[in-house]
Structure 1
Amino acid sequence: MAERPYIVGNWKMNGTRAMLSEARAIDRAAQRYMKVEVALAPPYTLIHAVHREAEQIGIGAQDCHPGAEGAHTGDIAASMLADAGAKFVILGHSERRQDHGETNKLINAKIESALEAGLRVILCCGETLETRDAGDAEDFVLRQLKSALPAFGDPAERLTIAYEPIWAIGTGRTATAQDIEAMHRAIRALLDNTYGEDVSAQVRILYGGSVKPENAREILSTPEVGGALVGGASLSAESFLGIVVGASEAEEA
């Protein structure tokens, strides 16, 4: 597993220039926790502005189009994100899958486009409550990943997986440590088989699903958890940094 835990804030469809003060506070505080890699994915409209403010944290985007350019009104190409200052892009988030009908095939095309543009990729996967209750959670998640994982190049330096059980996003519920560990181990085994253990060991697997300062240390101490993809708690510097502190404490334990 990569050495430093990776804590990524996904601002989703939130944020105006007034929130640059939160980004500045996160960036300044992150300089005190060098054992943790911290990043933010603001909306498209703030990528360049946050990039100009940031000295320590990584800046990324929440989606991209699979094409390099063309007549796609309202879409953003990966190369355009890189030009705005983004270093990574979140792809396959459950809200994109649900709200926009994104398929694993489309997500794979987006990943390849992002990698070609020099971006790092955070690939999301996760199951509904109905799928988990039916006992099909691991098989479902692994099918998602098998269809979306990039087939070319060495992904170790630029690929991160984020497991986000859909039933635990924005609900206040979190999976148990045992549930998280079991899923992350299954994902690790798939990565081992796909890329080989030496490469797989460098790919971090994040947990995303109602991560808060109160539960961050426990979650981030769970075997095979290499960080967190944080939603609502990342909108406030105070709450987001509480998670960064939890990651630092888990790393030192």
Structure 2
Amino acid sequence: MARKFFVGGNFKMNGTIESIKAIVKNLNEAKLDSNVETVIAPPSLYLLLVRDQLRPEIEVAAQNVYDQPNGAFTGEISVSQLKDSNITWTILGHSERRTILRESDEVVSNKTKYAVDNGVGVIWCCGESLEEREAGKTIDVITNQLAALKAKIGNDWSKIVIAYEPIWAIGTGKVATTEQAQEVHAAIRSWLKTNVNDQTAEATRILYGGSVNEKNCKDLSKQPDIDGFLVGGASLKPAFVDIINCNQ
């Protein structure tokens, strides 16, 4: 089964009306690989601006979503509000939320289940710290995060894209070697095969994230279990187009 290459751009808490309009203009005018599914995630304040102005074949993601229906949840955004605004994806479990905001595996899993059950795709993030990698615990950390998710969602992973993002490589300029990244991606796919089923293991796209840029993306994309990228800082730059087109 061929997995369609997927490139996500996580703007994080960056951008102004002017700068985000410029990013959208650049993407609208670029010649993009039609064999790549492209999704960008601006700050929530700019979701509608981006969706209204961005070419329709590029999808838009929120950077978070709540696990309850509309109601008295100040500061949150609901799945139904995303769908009402034609926002088709959300990022969940990013290490910045897991570590800074102390979102537990259970919180992330609950949000993921609620999102996919109600029709929004999830870019679900996992990753280890530098201390965990140096202690040889990378695979244990990742598989524990996967197990927590499976305990909530069961065997239907059809609306989930997994993003492996080693915490030590996010925004640091450090990048996992192609061998390191492929090793973890292969371990994730093996875990899916053993703990979910063969079909899910074959169909689920596993992205790499962590200081991805236009210089390192080509080598990473050649790895058999790397199905795309979740891009941080480089998604704010014109070179994001080069990452989307890295397989051409």
TM-score, length-scaled by structure 1 = 0.92
State the alpha-carbon separation in 2 of the partners of residues 121 and 22 from structure 1.
23
Report if aligned partners of 1:68, 1:113 keep a CA contact under 8 Å in 2: no
Aligned residues: 245
Structure 1 gaps of 5+ residues are none
* TM superposition outliers: structure 1 runs of 4+ over 4 Å: none
Residues 187, 153 of structure 1: CA spacing in aligned structure 2 closer, same or farther, 3 A cutoff? Answer: closer
Q: Which residue matches 1:135?
A: 136
Contact 2:155-2:196 within 8 A present in 1 as well = no
2:223 equivalent to 1:222: yes
State how 1:1-253 maps to structure 2 within 5 Å: 2-18=2-18, 19-29=20-30, 31-54=31-54, 55-149=56-150, 150-152=152-154, 154-156=156-158, 158-236=159-237, 238-246=238-246, 248-249=247-248
Task: Structure 2 unaligned segments of length 5 or more: list them.
Answer: none
Q: TM-score, normalised by structure 2?
A: 0.94
Asked whether the equivalents of residues 28 and 56 of structure 1 are also in contact (C-alpha less than 8 Å), the reply is: no
Aligned-CA RMSD value: 1.4
Q: C-alpha offsets along residues 19-59 of structure 1, whole Å, 9 cap, x if unaligned? A: 12212321332x53102111101111111111111222111
Q: Deviations over 1:194-230 (max 9, x none)?
A: 3311122111000000000000101111120000000
The alpha-carbon deviation at position 90 of structure 1 amounts to 0.5
CA positional deviation for 1:152: 4.0
Distance in 1 (alpha carbons) for counterparts of 2:194 and 2:11: 33
Determine if contact 2:27/2:241 at 8 Å carries over to the other structure: yes
Q: Which has the higher helix share?
A: 1
- Aligned amino acid, residue 195 of structure 1: V
User: Contact 2:123–2:162 (CA<8 Å) still a contact in 1?
Assistant: yes
1:46 maps to a residue whose letter is: Y
